[in-house]
Structures are given as structure tokens and as C-alpha cells.
Amino acid sequence: MAEASYPGDLKYHAEHDWARIDGDEATFGITWYAQDALGEVVFFEAPAVGTTVSKDEAYTEVESVKAVSDVIAPLSGEIVAVNEELAATPETINEDPYGAGWLVKVQLSDPSEVESLMDASAYEASLE
């Protein structure tokens, strides 16, 4: 994705991760800023379904040609789905970080944590 974008319907974490809330489930991914800093993503190994993730802690890694980056969970819960397409085409994370480049879907264990996340304008401001 060539132009920076931060969709308004998402919530953002300071470590450059986003969450799309849907009731007590959420989808996670990394922001435009993160994929731009990483460069071309070459490898993503999805964690196993059923894994517990904790807010503010790393739950997996994304690799580019020249760097490896921890991916931080914006919220806590249990992984109920992973994006298996990324094994074959990890570059989707660069091309469509908020859509087809989603990483995992999580059953939230504490939906109140959402309040601690930023909205799009706050996140964008934090990047200055």
C-alpha cells in the first residue's frame, strides 16, 4: 500500500498494531507504519489456534528481508482463527495491512481493555 492510511473504524496500539472489534471478538494486524518500517515482508508464521495472547506482549513475529519484528497483542484473549493465506503470500501484509493482511482473530478475554487503545487520529498524531 503506497499511501499511509489509518482507517477510522479501527483501534490502535502504540506498538503499531490495530484491532477491529466485533462484539467480543477482534481481528488484529499491523499498521501501515509498521509494514513500511519493516520493508517487504517475506515470512509470517501464524501462531496456533488456541494460543492465549496477552495485551502488550508479543505473540508472533513478522520478518522482512532486513529485519524481524515482534508483533504485540493490542488486547488479551484466545486465538480462534489465523490467516493461513499469509504463509504463501506474506507480501499481502504490505499490500493490504488492514484487509487481506489481517493476522489473527481473537476471542477477547477482557473487552474493557479496548478503552486503553487509541483511535485513528490519536495514533496518527503519535507518529509525528
Partner 1 sequence: MSTQSQRPSARWFTNAADDEKTIYERSRPGRRAFVAPPSGVPERPLDELIPARLRRAEPPRLPEVSEPEIVRHYNRLSKRNFDLDTGFYPLGSCTMKHNPKLHERVAALPGHARLHPLQDPEHAQGALELMWRLQEALSEIAGLPHVSLQPSAGSHGELAGVLLTRAYHEDRGEHRTKVLTPDTAHGTNPATVTMAGYEVVKVGTDARGNVDLDDLRAKASDDVACLMLTNPSTLGLFESGIEEIAEVMHGVGATLYYDGANLNAIMGICRPGDMGFDIVHFNLHKTFTQPHGGGGPGAGPIAVSERIEPFLPRPQVVRRDPGASGNGAEPEPEGMRGVPPRMYDLDYDRPKSIGRLRGFQGNYGVFVRSYAYIRSLGAAGLREASEVAVLNANYLLARLRQEGVLELLPVAYDRLCMHEFVLSGAPMKRELEIKTLDLAKRLLDHGVHPPTVYFPLVVEEALMVEPTETETRETLDAFAATVAEVLREAREDPEIALGAPYSTPVRRLDEATAARRPIVRQPL
Partner 2 sequence: MSRYTSVTDADLREMLATIGLGSVAELFADIPQALRLDRSLALEEGLSEQEVYAELRALAERNVSTDDEISFLGGGMYDHYVPAIVDSIISRSEFLTPYTPYQPEISQGGLQAMFEYQTAISELTGLPVSNASVYEGPSAVAAAGYVAKLHNGRRRFVVSSGVHPHSIETLSTLARGWGMDVEVIELEDGVTNLDNLAPSAFGEDLSALVIQQPNFLGAIEDLEALATAAHAAGALVICAADPIPLALLRPPGEQGADIVVGEGQTLGNRLDFGGPSFGFFAVTEELIRRVPGRIAGETRDLDGKRGFVLTLQTREQHIRRERATSNICTAQALNALAGVIYLSWLGSRGIVELAELLAQRTAYARDQLAAIPGVSLPHSQPVVREFPIAVDGDVELVIAHCRANGINPGYRLGPDHPNWLLVAITELRTKVEIDRLAEVLGAAVAAERERVPA
Q: Is 65 in the site for partner 1 (CB under 8 A)?
A: yes
User: CB under 8 Å to 97, separation ≥6 — which residues?
Assistant: 1, 29, 30, 31, 32, 34, 35
Q: DSSP state, 67?
A: -
Applying CB under 8 A, the span of 8-16, 19-27, 52-60, 65-73 interacting with partner 2 comes to 65-73
Q: Is 43 in the site for partner 2 (CB under 8 A)?
A: yes
Which of 80, 113, 94, 111 is CA-nearest to residue 13?
Answer: 113
Q: How many Å apart are CA 39 and CA 85, to the nearest integer?
A: 19
Task: State which of residues 4, 37, 49, 65 lies at the interface with partner 2 (CB under 8 A).
Answer: 65
C-beta of 19 vs 86, nearer to partner 1: 86
Which of 50, 33, 51, 48 is CA-nearest to residue 93?
Answer: 33
Contact 41, 47 (CB under 8 A): no
Binding mask 2-41 for partner 2 (x = CB under 8 A): ----------------------------------------
C-beta of 42 vs 114, nearer to partner 2: 42
Q: Is 66 in the site for partner 1 (CB under 8 A)?
A: yes
Residues that bind partner 2 (CB under 8 A): 42-43, 63-68
